[in-house]
A and B are shown apart, each in its own frame.
Chain A
Amino acid sequence: AQSVTQPDIHITVSEGASLELRCNYSYGATPYLFWYVQSPGQGLQLLLKYFSGDTLVQGIKGFEAEFKRSQSSFNLRKPSVHWSDAAEYFCAVGAHDTGNQFYFGTGTSLTVIP
């Protein structure tokens, strides 16, 4: 069965520090992978996606993620965090054998200290 694990429920970083949010997935075939961000009171906004090809993908707002098949991971990174990055981050896998059904992790809440 497909599943997504985000091991860190909450992370606190200082503004300007680097960030890495972890995501591990379980899926039998090559997955389609996504990172979404949710600000308070808002819906989810797509940060980046991986379908195939280059395993390092760039997204919006200076985020990037690296797909590592051997580790079943798709970690999100940002070299320098801004206060406006404080939000909830969700990793998701699109199970292409079940159409548009997506499986989300439970999310990582990011706090940024000035």
Chain B
Amino acid sequence: KAGVTQTPRYLIKTRGQQVTLSCSPISGHRSVSWYQQTPGQGLQFLFEYFSETQRNKGNFPGRFSGRQFSNSRSEMNVSTLELGDSALYLCASSSEGMSAKNIQYFGAGTRLSVL
């Protein structure tokens, strides 16, 4: 079974631009979560999608948004980029159900640099 695939692996943008990151979960997984990883803050939860619906949301500004498609693939969008948005963005998928027992499987991440 293929793992979680995130594209692109690296991105360079300038302040004010917007960016879209993509995540393809493991086949059969319907839950996709997004995290922002920075050296100072560690991993911070952005949001989770399940069956095309946002089920949980972390404490991030509205510039961060996402969506999930019927095939469970998910995209994350960041508008009006700021320097502080430079980070590794990780996507994780899990099988289903609203349970914290569901193991999350992580992709390799997208490294976003904002200049």
List residues of A whose CB falls within 8 A of some B CB.
32, 34, 36, 41-46, 49, 51, 90, 92, 94-96, 98-107
Contacts and interface: CB of A to CB of B under 8 A. Distances in A.
Interface stretch (B12-20, B42-50, B63-71, B72-80): B42-50
Interface residues of B, number: 29
Given A90-B42, A96-B101, A101 B106 contact: no
Interface string B41-61: 111110010100001101000
Interface of B: 4, 31, 33, 35, 41-45, 48, 50, 55-56, 58, 90, 92, 94, 98-109
A100 B100 contact: yes
Contact of B106 (A41, A44, A103, A106): A44
A102 B94 CA distance: 12
20 contacts: A42-B108, A43-B107, A44-B90, A44-B92, A45-B106, A51-B101, A92-B43, A96-B99, A96-B100, A99-B48, A99-B56, A99-B99, A100-B98, A100-B99, A100-B100, A100-B104, A101-B33, A101-B45, A103-B45, A104-B42
Given A101-B45, A102-B45, A103-B45, A94 B108 contact: no
Given A43-B108, A105-B42, A107-B42, A49 B99 contact: no
A107 B98 CA distance: 26
B108 A100 contact: no
A105 B48 CA distance: 19
A95 B100 contact: yes
Contacts of B106: 36, 43-45
Nearest to B104: A102
B53 to A, nearest CB: 12
A92 B43 CA distance: 10
A78 B4 CA distance: 28
Contacts of B109: 43
A102 B100 contact: yes
A104 B55 contact: no
